[in-house]
Amino acid sequence: MSDGRKRATHRPSVSDEARAAKFPILRGRRAMRVRNRGLSRTDLYHSLLIVPWAGFFALLAAGYALFNAVFALLYRAQDGSIANARPHSFADAFFFSVQTMATIGYGNMLPATLYANVLVTIEVLLGMTGLALATGLIFARFSRPTARVMFSEVAVINRYDGVPTLMFRAANQRRNRILEASVHVMLVRNELTVEGQVMRRFYDLKVARQRNPMFVLTWTVMHPIDDSSPLKNANAATLRAQEAEIVASISGLDESFAQTIYARNSYRPENVRWGSRLADIIGRTPDGQLTVDYEKFHDVEKEEGG
């Protein structure tokens, strides 16, 4: 700097990182705020892809109306620029803009001056560009592969083959198959280091069956809590104290779209039932056919002797 002074810069210290680590990274649907002036605050394309359909069409209609309103004001800037339009009529100028943007051309109103013809040329160019962008966004929203995978609302911990086991289940809500499906389960919790700092740690939880070649109906995911498990000696109180979270993700190839899909769910300590088991949802009809009762999909039952 010209005055010989150096601009002070803030370097994150170890204590800063420790304070940041006290806040859970994953909080279900809560978003984590990241302060970075070098990044844009908004990603318009991503926002338009994830906004609900009602909001998307509302934004599309608002942009369409605003576009034509701006050009209507520009047409009105010169008297007599639109032939057969009522003098100083904003409605006529607006609907002339609509006809021009959509290249309808009913023939009743038409540009009468060089100024109006220049505006028509610009509006048609921008209108065709906007139509192409809107078409691309709508196609991207329709063609985007989405997973219709339902997770049980709670996870349970009970004994299976004599070993305490974490269990939850997932279901494919579509009438198709998810090929080569795989599940990944992770434990996230706060831990205190030797130096007394709180750090957010991540642990992979080994499951009994990580891959499912053909995920059709339901899939019960099980993690045995043995001596090598990060959940060894854990209980409801310790999980709450550590602000723990069990994050599960399923990915696979949707046979209808031939594209990879992903689904994720997380279980907080209050969503884990100790000494309970998932209710049985498999049954048979009187003629012997296998049935799945999805009305009991989220139900749990108290383990006998628990």
pLDDT digits (tens, 9 = 90+) for 146-167: 788 999 999 999 999 999 999 9
Residues 6+ apart with CB under 8 A from 78: 113, 115, 116
Mean pLDDT value across residues 133-155? 89
Cα 58 from Cα 281, distance rounded (Å): 42
Angle formed at CA 114 by CA 113 and CA 116, multiple of 5 degrees: 65
Q: What is the pLDDT of residue 113?
A: 94
Examine the pLDDT at 276 and tell me if it is beyond 60.
Answer: yes
Cα 194 from Cα 260, distance rounded (Å): 42
- Same structural domain for residues 186 and 251? yes
- Same structural domain for residues 153 and 295? yes
- Same structural domain for residues 131 and 189? no
Last residue of a domain, one of 143, 168, 191: 143
Examine the pLDDT at 268 and tell me if it is beyond 90.
Answer: yes
Examine the pLDDT at 71 and tell me if it is beyond 60.
Answer: yes
Stronger pLDDT, 229 or 290, i.e. the higher one: 229
- Which of 79, 80, 56, 76 is closest to 68 using CA atoms? 76
Domain around 203:
149-302
Q: What is the pLDDT of residue 5?
A: 40
DSSP H helices, 105-223, are 114-143
Assigned token pair, 76 = 């009105």
**Contact, 88 vs 76, CB < 8 A?**
yes
- Same structural domain for residues 129 and 180? no
- Same structural domain for residues 129 and 163? no
Residue 80 dihedral angles phi and psi, to the nearest 5°: 75, 10
Q: What is the pLDDT of residue 306?
A: 52
Q: How far is CA 80 from CA 99, 106, 120, 124, 301, in A?
A: 18, 19, 14, 20, 79
Share of the chain above pLDDT 70, in %: 85
**Contact, 245 vs 24, CB < 8 A?**
yes
Stronger pLDDT, 31 or 201, i.e. the higher one: 201
Q: Give the CATH number of the domain where residue 100 resides.
A: 1.10.287.70
Mean pLDDT value across residues 57-80? 95
Examine the pLDDT at 121 and tell me if it is beyond 70.
Answer: yes
- Same structural domain for residues 118 and 236? no
Cα 185 from Cα 243, distance rounded (Å): 17
Q: What is the pLDDT of residue 32?
A: 43
Plot region of 285 (φ>0 → left; ψ -120 to 50 → alpha; else → beta): beta
Residue 3 within any structural domain of the chain: no
Number of domains the chain is built from: 2
Last residue of a domain, one of 127, 143, 159: 143
Last residue of a domain, one of 124, 143, 162: 143
Q: What is the pLDDT of residue 143?
A: 81
